[in-house]
Amino acid sequence: MFTKDTPKEISRLFDLIEAVQQKFQDRFTINKQSRQGELSLVFKTADLVDILYLGVRYDLWTRAQNPLWFGVQSDWNEKVVNLFSEHNQGRWVPFENFRLCPVPPELTMQDEYKELIIEMLEEQLNIVDKHHVC
């Protein structure tokens, strides 16, 4: 799992988190969290309703060989959780208090990885906007 390229991969993931935060900071309230083994963003609506989680997680990297995940916490707004679950049916997995989808590792290896992942997240965020969860 960990190779000589691991520091470069971690740097790319941290750069991605920064790019995502910059891209969406005018549209959403974003809480950035840094804890041992995790760097994450939690997107909130203008009314401060939690709507999406994006995280680099060491625990999931070691268990599932994938460091980057997005999803929702199971105890968030019921409509948000249901919309996420329906839209990502068959892709999300339960983990602790989350419903998480892995970001395909092949996306993070492409030159335009930031743009591709931002586009994927935009689709997820638009689901909530479209249904006026606020």
At 74-106, the pLDDT tens digits run 999 999 999 999 999 999 999 999 999 999 988
Alpha-carbon separation of residue 17 from 47, 75, 87 (angstroms): 23, 24, 23
Residue 82 covered by a domain = yes
Q: Cβ(54)–Cβ(32) under 8 Å?
A: no
Higher pLDDT, 2 or 73: 73
Residue 41 covered by a domain = yes
Higher pLDDT, 100 or 111: 100
Residue 1 covered by a domain = no
Position 101 scores a pLDDT of 97
Report, as an integer, the average pLDDT of 46-73.
93
If DSSP codes are grouped into helix, strand and coil, which group holds residue 9? helix
Predicted confidence (pLDDT) at residue 7 exceeds the cutoff of 90: no
Residue 98 covered by a domain = yes
Report, as an integer, the average pLDDT of 21-25.
97
Residue 100 covered by a domain = yes
Predicted confidence (pLDDT) at residue 2 exceeds the cutoff of 60: no
Report, as an integer, the average pLDDT of 34-55.
94
Residue 17 covered by a domain = yes
Residue 133 covered by a domain = no
The CA distance from 17 to 128, in Å, is 21
| Range(s) of the domain holding residue 61 | 6-128
The structural domain count of the chain equals 1
Angle among Cα 51, 27, 14 to the nearest 5 degrees reads 75
Per-residue pLDDT band for 65 (boundaries 50, 70, 90) equals: confident
For 58, phi then psi, to 5°, come to: -65, -40
List of E strands, 17-128: 29-35, 38-44, 50-57, 68-73, 93-95, 98-102
Residue 73 covered by a domain = yes
